[in-house]
Amino acid sequence: MKYQPIIGLETHVELKTKSKMFCSCSADYFGKEPNTYVCPVCLGLPGALPVPNKTAIEWCIKIALALNCKISNISKFDRKNYFYPDLPKGYQISQYDEPFGLEGNIKLKTKNIRIRRVHMEEDTGKLLHANVGGKKVSLIDFNRSGVPLVEIVTEPDFENAPQVAEYLQKLQQIIRYLDVSNADMEKGDMRLEPNISLVSRISNFQFPISSENLPKYKVEVKNINSFRFVARAIEAEIIRQGELLNRDETPTQETRGWDEKKGTTVSQRSKEEAHDYRYFPEPDIPPITFGLREIRAVREQIPELPDEKRKRFEKEYGLSSHDVDILTRERSAADYYEQAVKDGSKHSLTPKKIANYIINKKPDMDKTVPGELVELILVTHQTTEVSSEELKQAVRQVLLENPKAVGDYKAGKTQVLGFLIGKVRAQLPPKSSSEGIRELIEQALK
């Protein structure tokens, strides 16, 4: 490939707090009648004053700590000014130069992705495109306006789409382990915005990219809501930009959308710089300070995270990395497995046997408590003891009744051994141990 992609990522995560970021309206807006979960604050009416949601701020800090960020002792909210129909105030309350979290990282299989910042803001309303009276119109539902939104911004450390997909899967898993968001992309709980540019492979650059080597443009693809779509959008944008550069044209710095039907990105508007938003401190919310005690209290609420849990499961339970990946995919499944191991130890059930049952049988964890699962495994693996003489008698009878199979085996067709073993098992009581059948048949056929 002639060009090296340079990709940064902005990920927006809606928090599942009970109320919105700056008012007491319910944040559980999904699927509700449009414009029914609103008030003067989230509608931006004159004279309405914002009151920050303490839980949302603590959850934002929790995310930042889980991503190995430094927590700012003093932080503030800012007004991000831009005019768009889904923003009733004409500005968004966000954070600019003093976010809650800075300089974190997520470790992928092959590289480390740096997190530039983790900051808190309010979500916007939602545009709905419809046909009313034969005319195409855009309607606005403000139920989502003001819902707590955490933005996680990376450095431009990604080299390709697979790295982006791996990062997003890890990030989603961490968010769900923290239990601060459902991170359901179909519902818009987690929205993805890659920033993509290309640089010639013969230029003097290497990862991590220095500011001197960054291209003079970047293209942001907005509001993608699936891992598959983000990978396809990145790959399509790399092809589009490469074709422009081959014609000695510099791609326009702009915001583009993803058209799934066409499999291409489409231009939406020119890409703003920070100064275009005319940031200034939010005058209605004073700066927020955090002492070591407050930060420590939030850190103590963080559970064992996926990477640490995977390592412990492999070491403590002797499981393969494949099994561990399945069992730790969701925090609830990992907790269920550990309780089953604890219950199963009273019956000498090994962690491996329990893991195999969960992975292969896929029990309904909502309907079967761990103790019941252990009972099911015990019943499944319960065997009836058969005496040595009973086993020998069954072998003699099967060999006597199947002379053709005996002849085939002695003629070198050893595959008939499986047929004979099955016949012997059929002679034994249900759930009998079949240990030693093969050896007895082979001895009898010598």
What is the per-residue pLDDT for 82? 85
CB-based contact 433:385 (threshold 8 Å): yes
Q: What is the pTM of this model?
A: 0.82
- Is the pLDDT at 334 greater than 80, yes or no? yes
CB-based contact 120:285 (threshold 8 Å): no
Query: pLDDT category, 34, cuts 50, 70, 90?
Result: very high
Residue length of the chain: 446
Specify the DSSP element, H or E, that contains 98.
none
Contacting residues for 218 by C-beta, under 8 A, at least 6 apart: 8, 195, 196, 197, 253, 271
- Is the pLDDT at 131 greater than 70, yes or no? yes
Hey, what are 246's tokens? 């081959």
- Is the pLDDT at 193 greater than 90, yes or no? yes
Domains and CATH numbers, the chain: 3-296 (no CATH), 304-381 (no CATH), 388-444 (1.10.10)
CA dist., res. 278 & res. 366, Å (int): 50
What digits encode the pLDDT tens for the residues 350-409? 999 999 999 998 988 988 899 989 988 887 776 666 677 888 888 889 888 998 988 888
In this prediction, residues 303-324 reach a mean pLDDT of 95
What is the per-residue pLDDT for 186? 86
**Among candidates 118, 116, 115, 136, which has minimal Cα distance to 127?**
136
In this prediction, residues 410-418 reach a mean pLDDT of 82
What is the per-residue pLDDT for 1? 67
Query: pLDDT category, 222, cuts 50, 70, 90?
Result: confident
- Is the pLDDT at 296 greater than 90, yes or no? yes
CA dist., res. 421 & res. 437, Å (int): 7
φ, ψ at 276 (rounded to 5°): -65, -25
Hey, what are 144's tokens? 């989502």
Hey, what are 39's tokens? 């008030």
What is the per-residue pLDDT for 200? 83
Specify the DSSP element, H or E, that contains 347.
none
CB-based contact 22:52 (threshold 8 Å): yes
What is the per-residue pLDDT for 204? 65
**Among candidates 251, 217, 207, which has minimal Cα distance to 108?**
207
- Is the pLDDT at 432 greater than 70, yes or no? no
Burial of residue 365 (CB within 10 Å: 0-12, 13-18, 19+) is middle
Hey, what are 285's tokens? 């919310």
The dihedral through the CA atoms of 154, 158, 160, 163 has a sign that is negative
- Is the pLDDT at 13 greater than 90, yes or no? yes
Mean pLDDT across the chain: 90
Pairing of strands 3-14, 148-154: antiparallel
The CA angle 309-310-311, to the nearest 5 degrees, is 90
Contacting residues for 424 by C-beta, under 8 A, at least 6 apart: 391, 394, 395, 398, 434, 437, 441
Lowest-confidence segment of 155-169, 275-289, 413-427 by average pLDDT: 413-427
Q: Beta-strand (E) ranges in 201-303?
A: 219-221, 254-259, 264-270, 280-281, 288-289
- Is the pLDDT at 434 greater than 70, yes or no? no
In this prediction, residues 144-168 reach a mean pLDDT of 95
- Is the pLDDT at 119 greater than 90, yes or no? yes
CA dist., res. 59 & res. 179, Å (int): 9
- Is the pLDDT at 274 greater than 80, yes or no? no
Q: What is the DSSP letter of 163?
A: H
Residue 319: CA count within 13 A, CB half-sphere: 29
In this prediction, residues 94-116 reach a mean pLDDT of 95
In this prediction, residues 263-277 reach a mean pLDDT of 78
What is the per-residue pLDDT for 20? 97
